[in-house]
Amino acid sequence: MTTAIKLVLASSSPYRRELLKKLGLTFDTANPDIDETPLPDEAPMQTAMRLSLQKAAALAPKFPQHLIIGSDQVAMLKDKPLTKPCSRENTIAQLAAASGNTMHFYTGVCVYDSRNGQHRVNCDHCAVTFRVLSREQIERYVDLDEPFNCAGGFKAESLGIALFERIEGDDPNALIGLPLIKLIRLLEAFGVKVI
């Protein structure tokens, strides 16, 4: 691993922080605190990429000599955006709607050079098809994993994997919140080598 410039992860997410640690890089974290409202008629992939860039750029004044990593995820079910459910009841309702259906996750990632404003952005798409689930299975899962702050209402890195029929995508890390394969390529474009 070689890096001459300091890295910042523009996120307060413990999941993204743990994913980035897998690369063996030294980095700081900071909350970008931006408005994450989608624009009218904006495609989910475009929203994820735009917000990834905005998160990274928002921290540039505080970290003026850094590469800033921004990431954002948009979850969709039947063309309807999903938010973090935040409660047991909402989580159960999201998973009941997902039963036997496919959720789509668009996870954007951006590397922003705060010294000159240069940046690169990419997006990963992952499709998660759910098993047909009974109410009892959903409630048991929710009570065990408590995935209230997770888009889609599950933790794929934990017991949530038991809910799935299949996952289709290039990078399982993207489903958790940070597409590491794409991030590695973006970092390399700025001279940061992971291996």
Question: Six-digit token pair at 114?
Answer: 């705060």
pLDDT at position 151: 85
Q: Which structural domains are found in the chain, ordered by start?
A: 6-189 (3.90.950.10)
Average pLDDT (144-169) is 94
The active-site residue out of 72, 113, 124, 171 is 72
170 has a pLDDT exceeding 70: yes
pLDDT in tens, 46-105: 999 999 999 999 999 999 999 999 999 999 999 899 989 999 999 999 999 999 999 999
Bridge partners (DSSP) listed for residue 68: 8, 112
The full DSSP string for 26-50 is -EEEE------PPPTT--HHHHHHH
**Which amino acid is present at 59?**
L
Specify which residues 121 forms β-bridges with: 110
How far apart are alpha carbons 99 and 95 in whole angstroms?
6
Report the pLDDT averaged over residues 129-151: 96
pLDDT at residue 1 tops 60: no
Q: What is the dihedral of CA 128, 134, 136, 137, to 10 degrees?
A: -30
Beta bridge partners of residue 119, listed in sequence order: 112
**What per-residue confidence (pLDDT) applies to 56?**
98
- Token representation of residue 125: 């798409």
Q: Compute the mean pLDDT over every residue in the chain, rounded to the nearest whole number.
A: 95
72 flagged as catalytic: yes
d(CA 102, CA 89): 21
How much is the average pLDDT of 25-53?
95
Q: What is the pLDDT of residue 3?
A: 55
> What pLDDT sits at residue 119?
98
Given a cut of 60, whether residue 2 has pLDDT beyond it is: no
Is the CB of residue 57 less than 8 Å from the CB of residue 116? no
Percent of the chain scored above 70 by pLDDT?
A: 98
Instruction: Please report which confidence band the pLDDT of residue 4 belongs to, taking 50, 70 and 90 as the band edges.
Output: confident
